[in-house]
A and B are shown apart, each in its own frame.
Chain A
Amino acid sequence: DTVLTQSPALAVSPGERVSISCRASEGVNSYMHWYQQKPGQQPKLLIYKASNLASGVPARFSGSGSGTDFTLTIDPVEADDTATYFCQQSWNDPWTFGGGTKLELK
């Protein structure tokens, strides 16, 4: 299976820029997607196919990368962005998710 590796946690101050990384154990072309999940809620799609902003998502969120290395950037970070962020690939079978990065605000 394609393993997606994310750093477990980050802490940033409101107004700063934060980059969340996701590294795949094998190439996933551009079929990497990013989600935000808050406690007790379903995940919300932020970015699809590496760099496309999902409908209704603020332009503060952006995605980049291809192959095995991908990044979700939030600039500027707001208090409401406190959540866990997951990457997910849909290129290799089975589709897999990263372990999640918990974003905390200072």
Chain B
Amino acid sequence: EDQVTQSPEALRLQEGESSSLNCSYTVSGLRGLFWYRQDPGKGPEFLFTLYSAGEEKEKERLKATLTKKESFLHITAPKPEDSATYLCAVQDHTDKLIFGTGTRLQVFP
């Protein structure tokens, strides 16, 4: 069965304190791994797509990496505005997304 597990569930960081979020997955026929950001009361906002092991993508303070079993979202020198829930999802051969339950990130000044 396709499954996505994210850790930690919650993460509190001081502004400037770098860290990583983990996404472990099992899926038959991976078409892509997606990272989204979700703010309270809003829908998920697309961040990155990764298609194959070894691939990396960067955007501002965020960097996503992919292996055959997991993905990491690295946050470098975070700011309070990076506070949000970060969601990982895999797309299987049917095109639907299977989501993890997210990591709730809080960055304090």
The answer on A and B forming one complex is: no
Name A residues whose Cβ lies closer than 8 Å to a Cβ of B: none
